Amino acid sequence: MEVASDGGELWRLTLQYSPVGMTLVGLDGRLLMVNHALCEMLGYDAEELSQRGFQEITHPEDLDTDLEHFELALNGVIDSYRLRKRYLHSDGHPVWGDLSVALVRDAGGEPLHFVSQILDVSEQHEYEQRLRETNEELQHERQALSAIFDTVNVGLLLIDQDGRYERMNRRHQETMQLPFPEGHAGEAGQLGHVYLPDGRLMTSEDMPSYRAARGEEFDDYTYWVGDDPGDRAAFSASARQVRGPAGEHLGAALAYQEITDLMRAMRVKDQFVSSVSHELRTPLTTVLGYLELLSDRTDLPVDAAGQIEIAQRNTQRLLALVSDVLDVARAGAGHLVLTRTATDLTALVREAVETSAPMARRSGVSLRADAPDRLVAVVDGSRMRQVVDNLVSNAVKYSERGDAVTVSLRRVDGAIELDVADTGIGIPPDEVDLVCDPFFRGGKVVERQISGTGLGLNIVKSIVAAHGGTISLESELGRGSTFRVVVPAG
């Protein structure tokens, strides 16, 4: 078919050199003229394409739509149309094209041919498809997280960088009524019926939301809520900071778990332990006193004296255990009372080393102190003696023949540092964070049948904390351990 126009040659040049696929299509759908860009797009040469109709190079699933528009144009319903469709490449794979079609008519209005322009949008389509799939996945995740957010039996709260409440779940909304019966303004630090574990009313600075808004992260921050002491509920709060891509502070997320039943059970347990321990302590002290009187007698048979000595030793062990249990109960209830006085810690350390020296000699363990001639701090002397005694006796107990234990004492920047280092059996990495838990005894300890209750280090931790100090541990299995206690000098 001859294509006539005043600018025919110019049209052919435009067609051939256009970077976009172009073709002239006959009224029967045959491709009359194709340009280089379209040949490149579909993998055919010009001669091959010119022997085909657009029906042959259209994906079967898109053909009906294309034919429908084609017929509408031929019938004069529309003059042009545009659609996105799939073409078939010579090797069979689909090529997405953005098709624009216009019908050319002669001076009398009769159709001559179609001008089609096809832009290869395969990459764009693939990107859009991935984007749709990603958006669908995100929407699904958002819906799932929203369902979880409102279903979990834990109060969840999001605050922005200024401490304003952004979002809270159903559970948190329900629990807000007890501490804030008059309503909440939605800002961190608002005061209400919120109390510290010792019963004191919380200040704004104590409130979990205020601490989180200031950038703190914490776990298991315990408090009570409610105006009536008899109906108060206990909660444990944890907080994590929310940060942007560059690490900038965007806000915080808080989780609130009601632990009323647990706290009441612990209170009953502590009261029971304290009561039983007190009841045991008095008769044990009496028994020990009478045993001491008996041991002072000179008219006892030799075998009786030995039996009394065994009874004394075991009664003393039982009395020490009762004292340990009492200390743990007091610490758990926050009743560990300190009597601070100026104390020479050097003397205290040397006494503790002398006390453990016989056990060290029997075990073949070297024990020495590295301390200044005098180091005075304002502490509870008897409690700090407990700390040193426990750490030194543990170091000796968990060392083997030929090992060494060194007790170091020094003043560093207004604080007292006490190190108890041994070259003993060491502690496995997965047990390092557990050694100060009450009644914890490690696998190696149980395996070697080393005696103990697992209370000593918990008591040490409580005494150190009551002094406003810290205890840390570095250990390597088979190489030994170093406990470091740091307390203010007073």
Structure tokens at 380: 């509870």
pLDDT band at 300, cuts 50/70/90? confident
Print the SS3 string covering the chain. Answer: CCCCCCCHHHHHHHHHHCCCEEEEECCCCEEEEECHHHHHHHCCCHHHHHCCECCCCECHHHHHHHHHHHHHHHCCCCCEEEEEEEEECCCCCEEEEEEEEEEEECCCCCEEEEEEEEEECHHHHHHHHHHHHHHHHHHHHHHHHHHHHHHCCCEEEEEECCCEEEEECHHHHHHCCCCCCCCCCCECCCCCCEECCCCCECCHHHCHHHHHHCCCCEEEEEEEECCCHHHCEEEEEEEEEEECCCCCEEEEEEEEEECHHHHHHHHHHHHHHHHHHHHHHHHHHHHHHHHHHHHCCCCCCHHHHHHHHHHHHHHHHHHHHHHHHHHHHHHHCCCCCCCCEEEEHHHHHHHHHHHHHHHHHHHCCEEEEECCCCCEEEECHHHHHHHHHHHHHHHHHCCCCCCEEEEEEEEECCEEEEEEEECCCCCCHHHHHHCCCCCCCCHHHHHCCCCCCCCHHHHHHHHHHHCCCEEEEEEECCCEEEEEEEEECC
What values do phi and psi take at 410, rounded to 5? -160, 160
Q: Is a pLDDT exceeding 60 seen at residue 5?
A: no
What mean pLDDT is predicted for residues 140-169?
87
Residue among 344, 354, 412 at smallest CA distance from 384: 344
8-120 and 264-332: identical CATH topology: no
31-34 β-sheet, strand order: 31-34, 21-25, 111-120, 94-105, 80-88
The architecture that CATH gives domain 341-488 is 2-Layer Sandwich (3.30)
Terminal Cα-to-Cα distance of the chain (whole angstroms):
106
Q: Using one digit for the tens of pLDDT, what is the confidence trace for 172-224?
A: 988 898 899 989 999 999 999 999 988 889 999 999 999 999 999 999 999 99
What mean pLDDT is predicted for residues 429-444?
70
**Domain residue ranges in the chain:** 8-120, 152-258, 264-332, 341-488
pLDDT at 4: 46
Please indicate whether residue 341 or residue 2 has the higher confidence score (pLDDT).
341
The C-alpha atoms of residue 93 and residue 81 are separated, in whole angstroms, by 25
Residue among 384, 351, 369, 388 at smallest CA distance from 488: 384
The average confidence (pLDDT) of the chain is 86
Please indicate whether residue 330 or residue 38 has the higher confidence score (pLDDT).
38
pLDDT at 278: 63
CA 74 to the chain's CA centroid? 67
305-309 contacts, C-beta under 8 A, 24 or more apart: none
Of 157-161, 280-284, 365-369, 477-481, least confident by mean pLDDT is 280-284
Q: Using one digit for the tens of pLDDT, what is the confidence trace for 233-261?
A: 999 999 999 999 888 989 999 999 999 98
Q: For the domain 8-120, what is the CATH code?
A: 3.30.450.20
What values do phi and psi take at 459, rounded to 5? -65, -45
Q: Using one digit for the tens of pLDDT, what is the confidence trace for 71-89?
A: 999 999 999 999 999 999 9
Estimate the crossing angle of helix 260-295 against helix 302-332, to 10 degrees: 160
pLDDT at 288: 75
Q: Which residues pair with 419 in a beta bridge?
A: 408, 484
pLDDT at 331: 60
- Burial class from Cβ neighbours inside 10 Å (0-12, 13-18, 19+) for residue 146 reads exposed
Q: Using one digit for the tens of pLDDT, what is the confidence trace for 27-78?
A: 999 999 999 999 999 999 999 998 899 999 999 999 999 999 999 999 999 9
Answer yes or no: are the C-beta atoms of 222 and 197 closer than 8 Å.
yes
What mean pLDDT is predicted for residues 379-396?
88
CATH code matching the domain that covers 152-258, chosen among 3.90.380.10, 2.60.40.10, 3.30.450.20, 3.40.50.300:
3.30.450.20
Report the percentage of the chain scoring pLDDT > 90.
51
Q: Using one digit for the tens of pLDDT, what is the confidence trace for 255-299?
A: 999 999 888 877 776 677 667 666 666 777 777 787 888 888 878
pLDDT band at 1, cuts 50/70/90? very low
Q: 131 CB contacts (<8 Å, ≥6 apart)?
A: none
Q: For the domain 264-332, what is the CATH code?
A: 1.10.287.130
pLDDT at 7: 53
For Cα atoms 389, 357, 420, give the angle at the middle one, nearest 5 degrees: 45
